[in-house]
Chain A
């Protein structure tokens, strides 16, 4: 069963507008969430993360919002640029008190296209 879900396979946005990518999770033990950006035939690159003790984290044009009660997080990109066109992955990990955090669990990704 998928623990991290990205229900929108693709998203198209005009340059300069806001891009909102969504992610839902089912495991209530997840306490750390990340967003990665990936180009074809390359490894993912880390964008931004958020701990479960926060509900918002901002880094330049990227903001991640976390709603723990809804088990939902979103990535906002403002303003969107053509270079933002890529696949975005949501990931999460859970704390395990005796054996370290779990490895990252990834969603299936959302392909963002920013149109000039």
Chain B
């Protein structure tokens, strides 16, 4: 089945550690996105990539980094510089970031800093 896979579903991190969240899609989509959801805040854009080897900062990119070395993969690293990393992280993809189309979401990763 085609879709977006995020792993792990739950992740615990000690303060001061970097952690990488995985996002893989087999939909052959060009564009991929990372959003963060906090209670009562909706979804806020962290980073996005419209094509392989290119990515752009979103509204809340500070303390995060990404790479897009392969079309199907868009990993997100939460660095120790991120002040409030505990949140629900959502990865999405769309067929082409240049046209009007819906984005498809993964099941999310719940990150908790302990």
Say yes or no: B33 contacts A101, CB within 8 Å.
no
Contacts of A106 in B (CB 8 A): 35, 42-44
Which of B11-19, B63-71, B73-81, B94-102 lies at the binding interface?
A: B94-102
| Minimum Cβ distance to chain A for residue B52 (Å) | 14
Number of A-B contacts (CB under 8 A): 64
Number of interface residues of A (CB under 8 A): 28
A73 to B6, CA, bound (A): 31
Say yes or no: B103 contacts A104, CB within 8 Å.
yes
Say yes or no: A43 contacts B43, CB within 8 Å.
no
A-B contacts, 24 listed (Cβ < 8 Å)? A6-B42, A9-B40, A34-B102, A41-B108, A42-B108, A43-B105, A44-B43, A44-B90, A44-B105, A89-B43, A91-B43, A100-B96, A100-B98, A100-B99, A101-B97, A101-B100, A103-B33, A103-B48, A103-B58, A103-B97, A104-B33, A104-B45, A106-B44, A108-B40
Q: Which of B41, B92, B99 contacts A101 (CB 8 A)?
A: B99
Say yes or no: A32 contacts B100, CB within 8 Å.
yes
Say yes or no: B42 contacts A108, CB within 8 Å.
yes
Say yes or no: A109 contacts B97, CB within 8 Å.
no
Greatest chain B CB density within 10 A among A43, A46, A91 is at: A43
A81 to B21, CA, bound (A): 35
Residues of B that sit less than 8 Å from A by CB: 4, 6, 31, 33, 35, 40-45, 48, 50, 58, 88, 90, 92, 96-100, 102-108, 110
Contacts of B45 in A (CB 8 A): 103-105
**A113 within 8 Å of B (CB atoms):** no
Mark A82-116 against chain B: 1 for CB-CB distance below 8 A, else 0: 00000001010101000111011111110000000
Say yes or no: A49 contacts B107, CB within 8 Å.
no
**A67 within 8 Å of B (CB atoms):** no
